Structure 1
Amino acid sequence: DGLTPRAIAELDALGLGDYLDGRPRLDGLLLHGWGATKRVPWPSGRFPAYGSAVARTELDEEIRALAVSKGARMIQGAKAVDVTMTGDRIESVTLATASGTSSIRVRDVIVADGVKSGLGKSLGREWHRDTAYGTAARAYVPSTRADENWMGSHLELRGPDGNLLPGYGWVFPLGSAGGGLLNVGVGALATAKRPAHMQLRPILEFYANMVRDEWGIEGPPVRLTSALLPMGGAVTGVAGRNWMLIGDAAACVNPLNGEGIDYALETGRLAVELIGDTRADPDHTARWRDILVDHYGLAFSAARRLAGLLTVPQAVPTLGRPGIRSQRLMSMVVRVMGNLITPDDADLVARAWRGAGRVSTRIDARPPFS
């Protein structure tokens, strides 16, 4: 539900900027941990200096309605479950409905079916868990502070037993237009070597109770959902001759905060631009992996390596305790975690982050999207 400034920029480009006028305008992050609190505004620069929060059911419906208004033909109550191939091209997509199955002949296919990506699997998509991945849960709670203009983030996440977890908790105020609710959630990092053996529901309920007074929570968490999140391009098989995976299906999720909406919007735009630019080329989507690597490869490699480090016991307090007491350092962290460094940025932080990405990519056993 949380929208970073980068996601706001993509919604503006779609023509949905006005839709957010009645939604919360979130100025930055209210960070907590190890006895300290910091208000860190979103950095100014290429992107808007604010974020927002909208329930995904509402945001997705608004995007769907916009697509239909622009001429898209929408089929609802159906799920794409399989493909028929002619050689190495998708000839048709099989849809499952309540009344049975049917097929649609296709020219190009953009696979955008989320973290599990059933259709992607049928095309050979494979998720590799040797690098960091996420496990997360969220719920909604009524609150007297739903119109707050900061995102809450607790970097010192503990379970009901008091043990420190390699993750963080969040609070996204959805505003009056969002029903006076907060999105309250917890997320933790894991790798194949250090899997996350956690019961998410009691951790989320414990966290919601922990922030109850601070955030004016007036009821128990409801509508709880959870998911495993492939992150940092940790998938192979993202494209073929006339198809490509985007968004969560392509593991375009930030390894440092689990955010994926901006990547979903961006990769959707980039995929359409690629098809439009190269329609006459029957192999145009073969370029898709290179485009993903060019846009996200360095940052994803560095971020998932850092995220993997955070799964090591005691790494979180070792880095977090001194870090949260520095306003400058926290501003740098928010800039990196919020995916707010662009290729045009030439300052020291941007150069250092890209340098870390280049070094990380060279030593990756499996670079992003490989």
Structure 2
Amino acid sequence: MVTPDADVIVVGAGPAGSTVAFYLAAAGVDVLVLEKTEFPREKVCGDGFTPRSVRELVAMGVPMRPEDGWIRNKGLRVRGGGHVIHLPWPQTETFPDYGVSRTRKDFDQTLAVHARAAGARIQERTQVTGPVTDERTGRVVGVTARPVDASGRRTGDEVTYRAPVVVAADGVSGRFALALGLEKDPRRPMGVAVRTYFRTPRHDDDWMESHLELWDGPPGRSALLPGYGWIFGLGDGTANVGLGSVSSTAAATKIDYKDLLQRWVSHLPPEWEFTPENQIGPVRSAALPMAFNRKPLYHRGVLLVGDAGGMVNPFNGEGIAYAMQAARRAAEVIVQARARATDAQRDRVLATYPGVMADELGGYYTLGRAFVRIIERPDVMRVLTRYGLPRPALMRLTLKLLSDVWDPHGGDASDRFIAALTRIAPAA
């Protein structure tokens, strides 16, 4: 009998991987995380986290001190249709009433350090190359991996690591899932995020800012472009400035998003100082796999978590909160499975994971898919922003729905309305 190298192997140490590793280690599980890069490392992200993400950080006990680079925000400033409105994060029993900002370079390292402190083994510069399967059952019983240098070049021989459970948290590429024949569903929404950094006097803004209209020139006197823009102050003299666009299917678009970002930024107010001289680093982009676009979430001993399972919110492009939420749930399922006496019993428990996630997010993601079909048309967005933004009550409900910061256990009439919608919507 081959001795396993760990109780659980996690592929990838992004927010999903580090979070599941933290919870497993805290429960006394021997968990080995294999990460192809080394920390700190860059990732494309808006760097702004809603109260849903903050809830997950609080649950893990991650300190969010200002002296460590965390900056709080109190809500969303929305610009569009000639209007500017401020929407404070709602006060609910489920979520805190503030968000935070932190660069992904720092954020991912913070979570990895936190997981290590709980007892997780995180092995950097180790690129997983594929699954190892049992010849008799076809079940995944480990992974193959090779050491790499900082540029990703191979530096040694391939090694086999074995464990009875594997968590695939390797991001949007989903290479581990692909090796098992799990393809993306092209009918699910796919987003694109593009961002860069600027030195700016707006760096300490305590509102996350969203621009619902992107103009190819002076606002109101030029073409309206698809997508929405954001500005998130980081409190260190810089801001993350980017845009997102979404399509109701995974079909590729011909839009040059980097050029689109530069054109949009060039028409923002000059006092914000988003000039080429103040730009820090290149414009970078990433795909956003949405609404469970890869299934099943459990397959032959492997659980998909985060972007590997297409868990980005189609309403707003947020992925980290859902990666961490799914990681927490995956860890709970794994811990319960380990308490069963036989392989068959353990597998039945692991197989409950897709149902857990469908119950929590399936209906909401179905609503999000319908929302994307509506707003991917710029002419429709123009009407919605022009006539919807001046109505505060409607926008407060919209904020809760789009940010997924509503109270499922009661709250006010808007919370109950959203809860009813998510219950009615099929978790497809």
TM-score, structure 1 normalization? 0.91
Residue number in structure 2 paired with 1:172? 232
Local SS of the residue matching 1:127: coil
Stretch of structure 1 that moved more, 240-249 or 187-196: 187-196
Structure 1 runs not aligned, ≥5 long: 362-366
State the one-letter code of the partner of 1:245. Answer: L
1:334-353 alignment to 2 at 5 Å? 334-345=399-410, 347-353=412-418
Mapped partners of 2:62, 2:272: distance in 1: 29
Local SS of the residue matching 1:217: coil
Residue number in structure 2 paired with 1:310? 375
Q: Does residue 1:273 correspond to 2:337, yes or no?
A: no
Local SS of the residue matching 1:282: helix
Alignment partner of 1:35 out of 82, 103, 125: 82
TM-score, structure 2 normalization? 0.79
Residue number in structure 1 paired with 2:26? none
- CA drift at 1:195: 5.3
Residue number in structure 2 paired with 1:364? none
What is the CA deviation profile of residues 235-293 of structure 1, one whole-angstrom value per residue up to 9, with x for unaligned ones?
A: 22321242200111111111011001111111111111111122123202211110110
State the one-letter code of the partner of 1:81. Answer: T
Local SS of the residue matching 1:175: coil
Q: Does residue 1:125 correspond to 2:189, yes or no?
A: no
Mapped partners of 2:234, 2:80: distance in 1: 23
- CA drift at 1:106: 1.1
- Cα 1:123–1:347 change in 2 (3 A) is farther
- CA drift at 1:82: 0.5
Residue number in structure 2 paired with 1:163? 223
1:52-131 alignment to 2 at 5 Å? 52-86=100-134, 87-97=137-147, 98=154, 99-131=156-188
1:240-319 alignment to 2 at 5 Å? 240-279=299-338, 280=340, 281-283=345-347, 284-319=349-384
Mapped partners of 1:241, 1:20: distance in 2: 43
- Cα 1:292–1:326 change in 2 (3 A) is same
- CA drift at 1:342: 3.9
Residue number in structure 2 paired with 1:9? 55
Stretch of structure 1 that moved more, 324-333 or 252-261: 324-333
Contact residue 364 and residue 425 of structure 2 kept, 8 A? no
Local SS of the residue matching 1:236: coil
Stretch of structure 1 that moved more, 93-102 or 166-175: 93-102
Local SS of the residue matching 1:262: helix
Mapped partners of 2:74, 2:98: distance in 1: 5
Alignment partner of 2:249 out of 177, 192, 206: 192
Mapped partners of 1:126, 1:355: distance in 2: 32
State the one-letter code of the partner of 2:318. Answer: E
- Cα 1:277–1:51 change in 2 (3 A) is same
- CA drift at 1:349: 2.2
State the one-letter code of the partner of 1:115. Answer: V
Contact residue 186 and residue 251 of structure 2 kept, 8 A? no
- Cα 1:221–1:324 change in 2 (3 A) is farther
Contact residue 79 and residue 96 of structure 1 kept, 8 A? yes
Mapped partners of 1:100, 1:221: distance in 2: 38
Mapped partners of 2:70, 2:170: distance in 1: 27
Question: What is the aligned residue count?
Answer: 360
Mapped partners of 1:208, 1:103: distance in 2: 48
- Cα 1:221–1:206 change in 2 (3 A) is farther
Residue number in structure 1 paired with 2:19? none
Contact residue 240 and residue 285 of structure 1 kept, 8 A? no
Contact residue 7 and residue 262 of structure 1 kept, 8 A? yes
Mapped partners of 1:338, 1:112: distance in 2: 23
Q: Does residue 1:146 correspond to 2:203, yes or no?
A: yes
Mapped partners of 2:356, 2:382: distance in 1: 37
Residue number in structure 1 paired with 2:73? 26
- CA drift at 1:71: 1.0
Percent same amino acid at aligned positions?
31
State the one-letter code of the partner of 1:33. Answer: G
Structure 2 runs not aligned, ≥5 long: 1-46, 148-153
State the one-letter code of the partner of 2:125. Answer: G
Local SS of the residue matching 2:215: coil
- CA drift at 1:358: 4.3
- Cα 1:336–1:198 change in 2 (3 A) is same
Local SS of the residue matching 1:315: helix
- CA drift at 1:20: 5.4
Mapped partners of 1:342, 1:166: distance in 2: 31
Mapped partners of 1:160, 1:93: distance in 2: 51
Mapped partners of 1:193, 1:119: distance in 2: 20
Local SS of the residue matching 2:87: strand
Residue number in structure 1 paired with 2:97? 49
Local SS of the residue matching 1:31: strand
Alignment partner of 1:322 out of 387, 391, 405: 387
- CA drift at 1:3: 0.8
Contact residue 116 and residue 249 of structure 1 kept, 8 A? yes
Mapped partners of 1:55, 1:26: distance in 2: 14
